Structure 1
Amino acid sequence: MNQSQTLMQYYPIGLIVICLIISVFASYIALDLPRLLLASRGKARRYWFMGGSLALGFGLWALHVIGTMAYRREGGAADYYLTALLSSLGVAILVAFACIGLSARREMSAAQMVRNGLLLGLGVCGTHAAGALALDQARIAYSPTLVCVAAVLTILVCVSMQILASRFRSPVSPLSRLVKAACSIAMGTIIAAVQYVGMIALRLSPLASVSTDEFEPNIYFWLAIGVAGWSILVLGIVMLCANFADRRIAQQVALNGSLIEAASDCIVVIDASGRIMEFNPAAERIFGHRREAAVGRFMPELLFTTLLGDSYREAIARYVRDPGDNPFGERTETTGMRADGTMFPLELTVTRIRKADPPILVAFMRDITERRRAEAALRESEERYRKLVHYSPDPVIVHLNGMILFVNSAAAVTLGAKEPEELMGRFLADFIHPDDREIAEIGLNTPPNRLSESGPAELRCYKLSGELIDLEVKSIFVKWNGRGVMQTIARDVTAKKQAAQTIRQMAYYDRLTGLPNRNLFLELVHGHLRQCAEGGAEAAVMFIDLDRFKTINDTLGHHVGDELLKAFSGVLASSMRKGDILSRIAGDEFLVLVPSTTESEASDIARTILSHANTPFMIEGHSLIVTPSIGISMFPKDSEEAEELIKYADAAMYRTKELGKNGYSFYDSNVRTISSREMQLEQGLHKALEQDEFLLHYQPRFDLHSGRMAGVEALVRWHSPEYGMVSPAEFIPLAEESGLIVPIGELILRKACEQNRRWIDAGYPPVRMAVNLSLVQFRQAHLVDRIEQVLRETGLPGELLELEITESVASQNERAVAERLQAVKARGITVSIDDFGTGYSSLSYLRQYPLDVLKIDRSFIRNLPHSSDDTAIVQAIIAMAHSLHLSVCAEGVETKEQLDFLREHGCSEVQGYYLSKPKAAEEIETILGTTIASRIESAS
């Protein structure tokens, strides 16, 4: 035999397989033991730590012993130093103890895992070294390269095992067992391979004085088999115990988890320092913290205020030091703090888990907000019901067989007694109206078992003074001083019945005029029409609406409008015949039923109404003339139904308005067509706005001082593909009523500014663009911002824009109008009053508002210079405007005489058909820069 042989030449395959099995078992225990230690408490934790560490250390030692004891050579076997061999066992067990103790920590960083793996690897290397030194009668030679490779591989394997062990700390599942078994096989195979790499690194040469007759050559082989058997047995027992413990732990974890998850109360598990270990769904719901964010934080700081948190932190520390002293008591009511910082009442119970080492505390918490409210409500209810009878605002009377035994203060007051004692001993029948005593007897004598079935009864009762009142009473059976009596709860409903009468009055009569309203009118009409049908008579329904009533309301105020309606309703009543029915149905709309009449008689009544209405009404110093528009439908000619007759009369009234107002019209088949067109036009306005069917024409204005063209007024036109060119007089009122005037007005403003900007860019002389603003537009809160936005987007300077407002706008809230006009003026925009002289408002706004131009209405220009009244009015307006430093523009100039008169009396600007009709933008471009003289010459 060679003097130096490697040990690998003498290993039988059986021992290699046994070493592999031990490696796999030891790997499984090394991966599983930290999880078992973390899941165990008290003695079980100590048992697992001691037993598992011993088993793991014995397995590590066995790997090396099996290899060295299997060494055989010809002529005998090597001897061993048993002391050194046993010392290597101690080293292996100490290494296992240290490694398991460090791996069982709850929190481990990557650096700690690498440190533990390095310690375990060095320990394993030390175990191999100690085992090799135990060989006797052999000279050991080392291969430095292979020794280093074996040591590095051992350390890497141990570090990997630490990392894997930290990954298997979660609760056991079938998948985790399968993965853990696979990892154990892989790690065991690698450890066995590293073992034999280490053995390859050793070369042994026998000593010369070796004696080979003391032992049989294969005695150490069988000793290795014995060590292997014991190792497998010990490791197997540990694995079986671990499997059994896994099941118990899994059951306990599942039970605890289900109990904690399903608990309706907050359950927070904390360690000895107060750090949260578990936070159940109820705690998440009540406190508003997610479990992931709560676990690991200190409970006193997270769930309580700073002051309470400091106190509870000290209490937890005291409870941990002395389990017999629970500073929280059996149950503590305190104040919790939610994640959003809100406080709420909380019930807190803290208990310590027995046999838990280190100590673990469980805090049971319950939100008692609703309980506090219920307790407060109960206390309040008890107090309220205690005082109910005595202090009840409703009268309470206790009686037996009709005799009064007790009354509260409210009952005494209701029946007119100064003190309750005045009523005691008297009989209820004495206070009840004779006609209601029969009803009262039924209530008083109702058997107790049927009292709940009977509802409240209304009785007329007398007070001690003899005054008659209405009471609503309800009797119940109660115990009073140990005997069954009747308790009657009464309520004075006198005011209620009066209110019901008032409500009926309001439901059937107009509050302002006292006339029947639509509801009563319809009830009366049905009866009268039925009588007319039975007698073969005709009847007329008149629908009356006041012309321009909205203007009066807007200019003079609703209080003036109300007084005017009352005065006009008196005129209508004086025009009716006896038996006619007059009703106000809404606003300025009236309905009249004239039964048993003919068309001729209905016409006479309508003319009487028109004649009486033409008389001026003096309302708060204002002389007001209103004209009615009347529509008439006939029964049974037009319809036999009251609702249809009202609808047809309404349609006829609109026909009257279209024909010039201040008149009357009978319903015929054409009325429906006219009314239908109005509805169609209103619907068409929406489409026109969407499809941009509106276009602008421009009427020039000329400066009488310079003779030059000073500006243009933008006038909207609607060119409808369906209706053709629709007049502004027809669609503007519809737009104002529907609210579409706001988007239409903004569209007109934008188009006018864009057109003026194009003229400037084309090199034409700059002129002012005048745009009309309606009352509805002026009331818009963002009007000034919209105007500024249009100027900014179109690039038109504010100095080249003029806004025309009517007197109805100027008569609104003076402060609001002034502020809005100031904002407009601040942007350089000119402000003018259109149609001046046609309104109802005071002239005081001329000096209060920042105005620039007065536009005299065409009605005053029409008869110049032949009408002395009109010439006086125009001269007065011009003089007044000059005194207020305002320019004057005359509208509707149609003759040279009118032009000369206006120039002679100092009018600033003029516009009208004499100088130019409204034209399209392309036609305006041909006259931009012209003068009055050239326009007169072209007109002639």
Structure 2
Amino acid sequence: MNHEHYLQSSYNILVVALSFVIAMVAAYTSFELANRVKASDRELKRFWLISGAGALGFGIWSMHFVGMLAFHLDMEIHYNLLLVALSVVWALLGCYGGLFFVHRSERTIGHLMIAGQLMGAGIGFMHYTGMEAMEPVEITYDPFLVLLSMVIAVTASIAALYLAFYSNVNNGGSSVIGKLGFSVLMAVAITGMHYMGMNAASFLPDSYATINSSITYYIDPPFFTLIVAIFTFIMFAVLFFTIFFDRRANQQQTMKGAIFEAAMDSIIVTSEQGVITNVNHMALVFLQRSKEEMIGQSAASFLSRLGQIDQLVGYRHEQVMMVGNGDEKIAEVTVTKVKAELGTEYIIYLRDMTEQKKFEQQMQETNNRYQSLFHSSPLAIVVHRNSQIVSINQEVLNIIGASSMDEVIGKGIDSFVACDEMESVQQIIAEMMETKMNREVAMKELKIYDVNGEERWITTKSNVIKINEEDYIQTVVRDITEQRKAKQTLHHMAFHDSLTGLPNRSLFDTLAQAVIDKKKGQEEEFAILFMDLDRFKQANDTHGHQAGDKILKEVARRLQNAIEATDILSRFGGDEFLLLVRRGSEDDVYEAARRLQKAIAEPFHVHDHEVYLHASIGISLYPKNGSTLDTLIRQADLAMYETKKAGRNGIIFYNESMQAHTTRRMLLEDGLRKAIANGEFELHYQPKIVLATGDITGMEALIRWHHPELGMVSPGEFIPIAEETELIIPLSEWTLGEACRQNKEWQDKGYPKVRVAVNISSIEFSQRSFVKTVVRILQKTGLEPQYLELEITESVAIKNIDDVIEKLEALKKIGVAISIDDFGSGYSSLSYLKKLPIDTLKIDRSFILDLSQDQRETSIVRAIIAIAQSLNLSVVAEGVELSEQVKILEDENCHEVQGYYFSKPLAVGQFEEWYENKNRPKKEGMAVL
């Protein structure tokens, strides 16, 4: 730019340097003030905000004005004081506006940008207003440099505010070197803006300008520079001292606050009037209150004696007070009076003495107890020296059964301790007296004898005590005789059957294994007998479980009387018993088994009735049949099972062929689980004939099983297995469904509509959903209910009679016919026949078998028919095979018969062929095995 007509200018380097120092001090001060604003309480923030704005604004203005005074032109310059003052106002307003925005609670980047622009604008306005104060000159500006100077001002302001309030640098903990570094950078930025603005200006003499002497003065640059600099540094010194002392005061206040909050005692501060002004954390915990509940309240509201607070200063006293949760606590209260800036304060110290008082009270009570412990303690205490008893209390007399202390004091402890225990007791006493050990020495169990010579058991705890400088042993004794008996009882219960008192399986295994271990390598033999009571289940169901328990107790008593002392008898479970017999020959073992059967055969008297039971016994021999206990028990069990198959009430020794039976049973059980899915079952049908006309009145459906490996399996063999494994439930449902389906199919083909009878097992009938199952099958197959007959046995009918009647009535309601199968073979009773909603009685085949030869059987059949007729029930005779039987049944007016005399059970095709040949009318009936 051409400056030929412009005034020549120059700078005083020292004054320029001074302006830079002023800028640096102002920047440093701004950082310190930032810390004060951030660290101050809410009440002091406004003070520090105004102070900071004033210090920073005046510092920047001082730097600017000193910089102006460093600038020399070729003419004398005057300054308009109003504009100079206005420039100061711009600096102060810009700094206050910037600080105000950055102290907003949100403190976002947007606020930072607004604050920087305000502060930068204030600095810019300050600079160019100060330039306008120069007279009499005309100033022109380079717009680009002016804009650049404003950008520098805004940028420097944003940077300063960011460093002071947004970054982690100036957080009150930065090093002095770091702050100086930032101060230098800020000073460079601020002075850079100033001198950029000066460089943007060109000065021309203003010949037309007039100087108003009232507001415009000539300022001697060196002198005024010195005055401004001194005043600035004094102001900053005062400010730094203020900051320093404020920081020290804050540190002290913080330290006092930390000590106040960290104190282990509860501390409450009140005004001279007793109003709470502060409270520490421990006091809040102790009083169970919040700070809001405490501040502003009178301390006398919960410390009643504080009405005379001056009288309490310097003293300690205890007070019972109610805390926030309603509990009472004891506190030691100490009051201190202090002079504070705002007046007198009282500091109240509360020390929780509740637990200590409880402890002191407990200690006092403990001391009182110990004073009378020896004679009133519930514990038995003995003091002895050199194994001689010198003192005892009443509880010791109670244990040993003595009437007075004279009977005991002066005697040796060996007078009471069992001989086999005395050696260990003397050893312990010697060790205690030798080592003077303070710890307790305990003996878990010690056998002694009372004055009557009866055995008792005690536990002891002993320690060495001093009496008149002599060492004694004090022993606390506890009588555990009853606990030991209880322990023995529990031990007995753990290894004995709770009902019969016999050894249980666990104890039997232990004792029997000991016999095996003893006999290994010897030629001695023994036997394992596995015994099961025949017909016990029927007796239990008929007379009730209490009667069954009574029978089992009596069985155990009889068996114990029938065995020898060396034998081992155990209740295996339910109505099964195990016996180890130490005999040398099979004949002796057999004779022992016969004695057991004879003992069981005697009648049992239950509820004015005589109940007869028998025993099936299986026997295995050691070492002939095996060398391990599990093997011998399993083999005896197999032999017992063979006894059951052979007709019960027998004795069978184990042989290897029985193992094959076990294998067959396993095959049957496994096969049953797959047989239905594999289609291995089929139903055969045996017709029921009306004797009077020879017509078919129905069919009984009988299940047959074609096993893929074993061939045809009898129902008598697989039905019990199905019942034991509960596979009878799906098997019965299949049988019922298949029988209904086949009957419906025959009816659809034009065969007469007759009943198909299906036998129902007790397990299936006991299912709660049985009636729903029947209804579902009838609906699924489409068979009308009146063409289905369900056969149940007497044992099913009399078990839980109310439930049975409820189910039968539900079945009768939908039209299903009900018959009692095998009538007469169980515990028949006319009372339940009257109650049951049934249609038919089926006479058991055992009565028909000897009908033509035994007049008594004829009488029984006649009686059954008469009973049925009196109850309006139909009668069906099963197992009819001879013409003589048919003749007798006709004479006795039996309604219907079935048996091989008319037809054996036939497969579906055979039954259809037989029916076509018979060509007889069709009526109704049917059952399943």
Aligned pairs for 1:516-527 within 5 A = 519=507, 523=511
Counterpart of 2:527? Answer: 540
- Aligned match of 2:651 in 664, 678, 689? 664
Counterpart of 2:209? Answer: 209
SS at match of 2:922: helix
Aligned pairs for 1:99-498 within 5 A = 100=99, 108-110=104-106, 125=121, 128-129=124-125, 132-134=128-130, 135-137=133-135, 167-168=166-167, 172=171, 206=206, 208-209=208-209, 304=288, 310-311=293-294, 314=297, 388-399=373-384, 405-416=390-401, 423=406, 426-428=409-411, 432=415, 436=419, 439=422, 443=426, 446-447=429-430, 448-449=432-433, 455=443, 457-462=446-451, 468=454, 470=456, 472=458, 474=460, 476-480=463-467, 483-492=470-479, 495=482
Report the Cα distance in structure 2 between the residues aligned to 1:589 and 1:48, rounded to whole angstroms: 100
Counterpart of 2:84? Answer: 85
Report the Cα distance in structure 1 between the residues aligned to 2:782 and 2:280, rounded to whole angstroms: 71
Report the Cα distance in structure 1 between the residues aligned to 2:157 and 2:636, rounded to whole angstroms: 104
**Contact 2:79 2:219 survives alignment (8 Å):** no
**How many residues end up aligned between the 2 structures?**
874
Question: Taking structure 1 as reference, are residues 434 and 365 closer, same or farther at Cα in structure 2, changes over 3 Å only?
Answer: closer
Deviation readout 1:672-716 (Å, 9 max, x if unpaired): 34445556766x49x9489967998779999999x9999999989
SS at match of 1:540: strand
Unpaired stretches in structure 2, ≥5 consecutive residues: 303-308
Question: Taking structure 1 as reference, are residues 22 and 524 closer, same or farther at Cα in structure 2, changes over 3 Å only?
Answer: same
**Contact 1:55 1:235 survives alignment (8 Å):** yes
Report the Cα distance in structure 2 between the residues aligned to 1:369 and 1:257, rounded to whole angstroms: 26
- Aligned match of 1:619 in 580, 598, 606? 606
Report the Cα distance in structure 2 between the residues aligned to 1:11 and 1:760, rounded to whole angstroms: 131
Residue range with higher mean Cα deviation, 29-38 or 563-572: 29-38
- Aligned match of 1:583 in 548, 566, 569? 569
The answer to whether the aligner puts 1:646 opposite 2:633 as a matched pair is yes
Structure possessing the higher radius of gyration over alpha carbons = 2
Report the Cα distance in structure 1 between the residues aligned to 2:161 and 2:812, rounded to whole angstroms: 81
SS at match of 1:410: helix
Q: Using the TM superposition, give the Cα deviation of residue 583 of structure 1 relative to its aligned residue in structure 2, in angstroms.
A: 0.7
Counterpart of 1:933? Answer: 922
**Contact 1:334 1:347 survives alignment (8 Å):** no
Q: Using the TM superposition, give the Cα deviation of residue 638 of structure 1 relative to its aligned residue in structure 2, in angstroms.
A: 1.9
Counterpart of 1:37? Answer: 37
Equivalent position amino acid for 1:396 in 2? I
Q: Using the TM superposition, give the Cα deviation of residue 585 of structure 1 relative to its aligned residue in structure 2, in angstroms.
A: 3.2
**Contact 1:6 1:202 survives alignment (8 Å):** no
**Contact 2:446 2:458 survives alignment (8 Å):** yes
SS at match of 1:462: coil
Report the Cα distance in structure 2 between the residues aligned to 1:890 and 1:186, rounded to whole angstroms: 124
Report the Cα distance in structure 1 between the residues aligned to 2:174 and 2:697, rounded to whole angstroms: 95
Report the Cα distance in structure 2 between the residues aligned to 1:172 and 1:862, rounded to whole angstroms: 114
Counterpart of 2:61? Answer: 61
Counterpart of 1:292? Answer: none
Q: Using the TM superposition, give the Cα deviation of residue 540 of structure 1 relative to its aligned residue in structure 2, in angstroms.
A: 3.1
Deviation readout 1:484-513 (Å, 9 max, x if unpaired): 444344444554666577667667766654
The answer to whether the aligner puts 1:634 opposite 2:617 as a matched pair is no
SS at match of 2:625: coil
SS at match of 1:314: coil
SS at match of 1:668: coil
Unpaired stretches in structure 1, ≥5 consecutive residues: 284-298
Report the Cα distance in structure 2 between the residues aligned to 1:797 and 1:584, rounded to whole angstroms: 56
Equivalent position amino acid for 1:209 in 2? A
TM-score normalized with structure 1 length:
0.61
Equivalent position amino acid for 1:619 in 2? V
Report the Cα distance in structure 2 between the residues aligned to 1:828 and 1:354, rounded to whole angstroms: 103
Report the Cα distance in structure 2 between the residues aligned to 1:700 and 1:581, rounded to whole angstroms: 54
- Aligned match of 1:557 in 535, 538, 544? 544
**Contact 2:57 2:95 survives alignment (8 Å):** yes
Report the Cα distance in structure 2 between the residues aligned to 1:786 and 1:158, rounded to whole angstroms: 95
Equivalent position amino acid for 2:639 in 1? A
**Contact 1:37 1:45 survives alignment (8 Å):** yes
Report the Cα distance in structure 1 between the residues aligned to 2:809 and 2:925, rounded to whole angstroms: 39
Question: Taking structure 1 as reference, are residues 37 and 648 closer, same or farther at Cα in structure 2, changes over 3 Å only?
Answer: same
Report the Cα distance in structure 1 between the residues aligned to 2:866 and 2:236, rounded to whole angstroms: 124
Deviation readout 1:766-796 (Å, 9 max, x if unpaired): 99998968659958xxx5699799979x999
Q: Using the TM superposition, give the Cα deviation of residue 592 of structure 1 relative to its aligned residue in structure 2, in angstroms.
A: 3.2
Q: Using the TM superposition, give the Cα deviation of residue 407 of structure 1 relative to its aligned residue in structure 2, in angstroms.
A: 3.2
Report the Cα distance in structure 2 between the residues aligned to 1:553 and 1:394, rounded to whole angstroms: 52
Equivalent position amino acid for 2:614 in 1? T
Q: Using the TM superposition, give the Cα deviation of residue 633 of structure 1 relative to its aligned residue in structure 2, in angstroms.
A: 1.5
Q: Using the TM superposition, give the Cα deviation of residue 933 of structure 1 relative to its aligned residue in structure 2, in angstroms.
A: 0.9
Report the Cα distance in structure 2 between the residues aligned to 1:31 and 1:829, rounded to whole angstroms: 104
Q: Using the TM superposition, give the Cα deviation of residue 208 of structure 1 relative to its aligned residue in structure 2, in angstroms.
A: 1.4
Q: Using the TM superposition, give the Cα deviation of residue 543 of structure 1 relative to its aligned residue in structure 2, in angstroms.
A: 1.6
**Contact 1:42 1:356 survives alignment (8 Å):** no
Aligned pairs for 1:704-715 within 5 A = none
Equivalent position amino acid for 1:461 in 2? D
SS at match of 2:613: coil
**Contact 2:512 2:580 survives alignment (8 Å):** no
Report the Cα distance in structure 1 between the residues aligned to 2:700 and 2:175, rounded to whole angstroms: 89
SS at match of 1:92: helix
Question: Taking structure 1 as reference, are residues 725 and 156 closer, same or farther at Cα in structure 2, changes over 3 Å only?
Answer: farther
SS at match of 2:657: helix
SS at match of 1:933: coil
Report the Cα distance in structure 2 between the residues aligned to 1:28 and 1:486, rounded to whole angstroms: 82
Counterpart of 2:305? Answer: none
**Contact 2:390 2:410 survives alignment (8 Å):** no
Deviation readout 1:342-388 (Å, 9 max, x if unpaired): 9999999999999999xxx9999999999999899878876766665
Question: Taking structure 1 as reference, are residues 732 and 690 closer, same or farther at Cα in structure 2, changes over 3 Å only?
Answer: closer
Residue range with higher mean Cα deviation, 183-192 or 435-444: 183-192
Report the Cα distance in structure 2 between the residues aligned to 1:275 and 1:790, rounded to whole angstroms: 86
Q: Using the TM superposition, give the Cα deviation of residue 405 of structure 1 relative to its aligned residue in structure 2, in angstroms.
A: 4.9
Q: Using the TM superposition, give the Cα deviation of residue 591 of structure 1 relative to its aligned residue in structure 2, in angstroms.
A: 2.8
Q: Using the TM superposition, give the Cα deviation of residue 123 of structure 1 relative to its aligned residue in structure 2, in angstroms.
A: 7.2
Q: Using the TM superposition, give the Cα deviation of residue 565 of structure 1 relative to its aligned residue in structure 2, in angstroms.
A: 2.1
